[in-house]
Chains A and B, each alone.
Chain A
Amino acid sequence: MLEVKNLSVSIHGKPILEGLNLNAKAGQVAAIMGPNGSGKSTLSYVIAGKPDYEVTGGEVLLDGEDLLDLEPNARAAKGVFLAFQYPVEIPGVATMTFLKAALNAQRRAHGQGELTTPDFMRAVRGAAADLKVDPDMLKRPVNVGFSGGEKKRVEILQMALLQPRLCVLDETDSGLDIDALRVVADGVNKLRDAGRAFVVITHYQRLLDHIKPDVVHVMARGRIVKSGGAELALELERNGYRDYADAEAAA
């Protein structure tokens, strides 16, 4: 579903990704692990279309169609979703208003009519219950005053509502205690199906105890340096990233 081919990206003239290749298949979870500064978050932002980055080479294809020229909202309409590592606070915009605007914008992009308020409320309440999000919280401005765990749960709630085909999770485990981690992982697992691909970016193996990956990629210095099965994550947990950092430095 997602093919990243020979992608090179820099920010303010500084190269971050250097010839990165990655595939994510429908029905699978691909984990990307790597040390800090290896470019994991950059990859997620470039897939979602954050404007600060300069793509100096390569392609990002979704079902064969290049995403790079599309606005972030057009990518979202094609089914791309990024669960942010640091969800953005938006004072003055009620979460409910935001969810409705997002859902209806995507429906319009697909040529569908707007959801009725009762249908919308039903969908939100269902997703909120699954993710143990207090519906009263959704009256508050987007992410303002939310705890770290609340922010992450609301990210997954958005994912559940918008039903994307490609889900990119950027360090969704950071800042979560073990109970919140389980709630978030259950939310993700519930969305796994044959038509949907996941790219799960994480620094630690612990998230992958709950979301079992089909493939694990190790990222270092802006590219994928090793790929393997779920066992690769365990190996990283034991040995750390030093081998890869050294291998890169020597190369």
Chain B
Amino acid sequence: MTLHAAVPKTAAETALAAAFSALSASDAAKAAFADFETRGLPTRRDEAWHYTDLRAAMKRVEPLAAVPDDRRLKAVEAVLARTPRIADVRWVLVDGRYAESLSDAPPAGVSLSLVEAPRAPETSDAVVSLNRAFARAALDVRVAANAAPPSLEILHLDGPGAIYSRVDVEVGAGAKISVLERFEGASEGTQRNGLTAVTLAEGASCDWTTIVGDEAALHLETPIVRLQRDASFRNFGLVCGGALVRRQIDVAHSGPGAKIALSGLSLIEGQRHADTTLTVRHAAPRGESREFFRHIVADEGSGVYQGKVIVDPHAQKTDGGMKSQALLLSPTAEMDNKPELEIFADDVVCGHGATVGALDPEQVFYLQSRGIPRPQAEAMLLEAFGIEAIERVADEAVADALRERLHDWLKRRAA
């Protein structure tokens, strides 16, 4: 406490306070901002932020993006017209706000509303508090029990400015959904803070794919997932853009027999920094979790993977397996790979593995010896490395889109 008080505010923290005081805010938002101010921007002394010093990196604060007006929506409409659909039903958020005029009607079994004061998530963190303080009008999605609607796409199209978004999804008992969430449109003037809260009732199932594919200066994303008995949640995250990206995923089984599979692929070139930090808490028996992440780090890029799996004392028969594998393509590329297990139960099967390496020179030579030039040989091997991660995505249309992004990234690098 005294430590926080002793640290002078950074320019960014001061700017955030000024931006907040200019808003009309609910008591909940005020409480959230007060919580942020006690914490301050996270630094490397915060264990969860050890490899991403947000306080040092966040030199400036962009002004809050305005609520999109007709002109802005018209401009987005033109972008949408040339953005191919991947899922069946598309909902669009522009600068963090749900744009009804650009979105499809919810399918049967799914309802959609805007909520001014969404409930507080269980996660506490400076970035979550900022989101609670600044985000307005959460998109609240409810999926009826046993519904199996067509596939859904949540498309964030963001312009410049500070953008806060909040999406809540409640999946009813026995319901089954497939969601693609894409972050697009952002540029170096964009600072994004997105929070997604997903709750899965008994036996519900959700396949969620996330694409971070634009060039935000700052992409902070907090998916928070809670699973009841026998529910299942799968997330795949493709990160192929953004100067500083942090996906912090917080998942907990609060019911027995739940299944979680988290996976992803990060493509990190130039001077980009991409951090994937997971907390998976097994708070009930017979849970299963699988984490599989791959990272390709080139140039002066830096990647971070922190995966923490916590098995509570009564979460017996937990089955956990975690893998994080990185390929470094240059001597200045960096990867911090930190899988962690905290096991307090005695009857569990949990394992983890983390590797960091270079492309196998034997494989490169073999391809070259058949006439394939080195850049193409390397691209083939990198594509294979990425495709093996994408294989975890069940929806073929989504997997195709992911493979295409990977292919484009490799082509851009070769050019």
* A→B interface (CB under 8 Å): 48-52, 71-73, 75-77, 81-82, 84, 87-88, 90-93, 97-98, 101-103, 105-106, 109, 141, 158, 162
A153 and B228 alpha carbons, distance in the complex (Å): 53
Interface residues of B in 10-38 (CB under 8 A from A): none
Cross-chain contact A92 with B385 (CB below 8 angstroms): yes
Cβ contacts under 8 Å, A98 to chain B: 367, 370, 380
Inter-subunit contact B371/A77 (CB<8 Å) = yes
The distance in angstroms between the C-alpha atoms of A167 and B304, with both chains bound, is 46
Q: How far is the CA of A101 from the CA of B380 in the complex (A)?
A: 9
Q: Which listed residue, B363, B372, B384, B388, touches A102 by the CB 8 Å rule?
A: B372
Q: Does B387 contact A (CB under 8 A)?
A: yes
- List residues of chain B with CB within 8 A of the CB of A92: 381, 383-385, 387-388
Cβ–Cβ contact A49 & B369, under 8 A: yes
**Contacting pair B373 A105 (CB below 8 A):** yes
Whether B372 pairs with A50 at a CB distance below 8 angstroms is: no
Contact among B369, B373, B376, B380 for A82, CB-based, below 8 A: B369
How far apart are A48's CB and chain B's nearest CB, in angstroms?
5
Judge whether A90 and B368 touch: CB under 8 Å: no
Question: Which positions in B face A, CB cutoff 8 Å?
Answer: 361-363, 365-374, 376-377, 380-381, 383-385, 387-388
CB neighbours of A93 from chain B (8 A): 380-381, 383-384
Who on chain B is nearest to A102 by CB? B370
* Complex interface: chain A residues within 8 A of B367 (CB): 90, 98, 101-102
Contact A101 B372 (CB under 8 A): yes
DSSP majority for the B interface? Answer: helix
Choose one: B362, B371, B384; the contact of A106 (CB below 8 Å): B371
In the assembled complex, the CB of B211 is this many whole angstroms from the nearest CB of chain A, namely 21
Query: Which residues of A are found within 8 Å of B371, using beta-carbon distances?
Result: 73, 76-77, 102-103, 105-106, 109, 162
Residue of B nearest to A142 (CB): B366
Interchain CA distance A52-B387 in the complex, whole Å: 29
The docked-state distance in angstroms from the alpha carbon of A48 to that of B383 is: 25
A73 touches B368 (CB 8 A): yes
Structural contact, A71 and B373, CB atoms closer than 8 A: yes
The 5 closest A-B pairs by CB, nearest first: A92-B384, A76-B371, A102-B370, A72-B368, A88-B366
In the complex formed, the residue of A with least CB distance to B365 is A50
Interchain CB contact under 8 A, B384 and A73: no
Subset of 18 A-B contacts with CB under 8 Å: A49-B368, A51-B365, A52-B361, A73-B371, A73-B374, A75-B369, A88-B366, A90-B363, A90-B366, A90-B384, A92-B383, A92-B387, A93-B381, A93-B384, A105-B373, A105-B376, A162-B370, A162-B371
